[in-house]
A = this chain, B = another copy of it.
Amino acid sequence: MQNKRKICVVVTARPSYSRIKSALQAIKGHPDLELQLVIAGSALLDRYGNAADFIQKDGFEASAKVYMVLEGENPTTMAKTTGIGLMELTNVFYNLKPDAVITIADRFETIATSIAAAYQNIPLIHIQGGEVTGNIDEKVRHANTKLADLHFVSSEDARDRVIKLGEEPAKVINTGCPSIDLVKQIESEIELNFDPLQKYGGVGKNIDWKKGYLVVMQHPVTTEYESSRAHIEETLKAVHKSGLPTFWFWPNVDAGSDGTSNGIRTYREQNDPENIHFFKNMEPLDFLRLLKFSKLLIGNSSVGIRESSYLGLPVINIGNRQNRRLRANNVTDLDYDRMKILAAIEEISKIDHFEISSIYGNGESGKKIANILASVDLCSSKTITY
């Protein structure tokens, strides 16, 4: 019992949870591992879909909760939130004394996890390094890589990149992405087994989704803070004009979310689009089900790149948020342009789904991660390979 490795995972947002859930389950279930789950940041907040609730329902218990989000939703509060998080997470690790800390992907506050672990000489594992995008996430992700001692990447492409960044090849392991494990879980389902309107309420028109529907999820892009409102309007107008039944998800927290959120709110109040229903949040598996049986996903969520590859779901990816992230052939990239978006919606909503792609893993990542964690040599110092 006392020899169990304590693995501390810090979840700071709803999407990060979906992306790590199967690994959390595998760690919790592994005889040689003890899970220390820290729920922090927007994962604790109602406004951002309170992931803590889902996490609890899924049977996990938090070892610590960290309130750290400073209100304001601008670049300045984003930086200060990270500073607060760093102070707090340092305390948390100091008290939990984990054998390793896992930091997830590239959200701005994940660097607080990385520094709090690295500076206290706790072996740091970075999940989903080595990918490429086009804004502040890009800087955060690679900085996390340089702070981490071990890397669980999601694709061969990402593995190559982390090695090029000067990490030892033996420390860079392609585990696939745990988010694909969830997709695999619903692989055999053949139709949507719940009514989204009944189960999740939401606001807007009661659309008739049974004959096919679109899903939209578009987040603000940090470095284009002020234009996020203009961007979202292009998508709103195209989707509205298409007349196709649509489930639209509010964006998660980020500098600029007000621009996007306000753009949606205003458009809804002024135009009351008859074909769009809005949701704040959905249980991760239900969300995947909704995608699986949709015609098309629109927006700039990484779900379009990652989970959708294994679903074979057609995706219209807008703007540069997912720039250069490895993608299968299900993705069509477009600029913020209502005419082009509308044209693409009309065309793509008619085509069939694509072949399943395993570029982001084959649905066994969680177990693979837990097994490695139980046996791998953990250490907290390294030197660049060149």
Across the interface, which residues of B come within 8 angstroms of A70, CB to CB? 67-71, 84
Inter-subunit contact A47/B71 (CB<8 Å): yes
Complex: chain B residue closest to A95, CB-CB:
B64
Which segment of A2-10, A110-118, A183-191 sits at the interface?
A110-118
Q: What sequence of 0s and 1s flags, for each residue 72-109 of chain A, a beta carbon within 8 Å of any chain B beta carbon?
A: 10011111101111111011001100000000000010
**Is A181 close to B, CB under 8 A?**
no
CA distance A72 to B72 in the complex (A): 13
- Checking B79, B120, B135, B225 against A76 with a beta-carbon cut-off of 8 angstroms, the contacting residue is B120
**Is A119 close to B, CB under 8 A?**
yes
Complex: chain B residue closest to A74, CB-CB:
B67
CA distance A64 to B95 in the complex (A): 8
CA distance A45 to B77 in the complex (A): 12
Q: What sequence of 0s and 1s flags, for each residue 354-386 of chain A, a beta carbon within 8 Å of any chain B beta carbon?
A: 000000000000000000000000001111101
Across the interface, which residues of B come within 8 angstroms of A166, CB to CB? 142, 161, 164-165
Across the interface, which residues of B come within 8 angstroms of A79, CB to CB? 86, 90, 115-116, 119-120
Query: Do A84 and B82 form a contact, CB below 8 Å, given A75-B120, A166-B165, A384-B138?
Result: no
Across the interface, which residues of B come within 8 angstroms of A382, CB to CB? 138-139
Query: Do A80 and B71 form a contact, CB below 8 Å, given A121-B223, A381-B135?
Result: no
Across the interface, which residues of B come within 8 angstroms of A57, CB to CB? none
Inter-subunit contact B91/A88 (CB<8 Å): yes
Interface positions, chain A 37-55, Cβ under 8 Å from B, are 42, 44-47
Across the interface, which residues of B come within 8 angstroms of A380, CB to CB? 223
Complex: chain B residue closest to A47, CB-CB:
B71
Inter-subunit contact A72/B45 (CB<8 Å): yes
Inter-subunit contact A383/B323 (CB<8 Å): yes
CA distance A121 to B79 in the complex (A): 10
CA distance A138 to B84 in the complex (A): 24
**Is A246 close to B, CB under 8 A?**
no
Inter-subunit contact A384/B67 (CB<8 Å): no
Inter-subunit contact A67/B75 (CB<8 Å): no
Instruction: Report the minimum CB–CB distance from A228 to chain B (whole Å).
Output: 14
Inter-subunit contact A69/B67 (CB<8 Å): no
A residues with CB within 8 A of B: 42, 44-47, 64, 67-72, 75-80, 82-88, 90-91, 94-95, 108, 111-112, 115-116, 118-121, 132-136, 138-139, 142-143, 145-147, 161, 164-166, 222-223, 225, 258, 323-324, 380-384, 386
17 additional A-B residue pairs with CB within 8 Å, beyond A70-B84, A83-B115, A142-B384: A67-B72, A68-B70, A70-B70, A75-B120, A79-B119, A80-B87, A83-B84, A83-B88, A86-B86, A87-B88, A111-B115, A132-B383, A134-B381, A138-B383, A138-B384, A142-B166, A161-B166
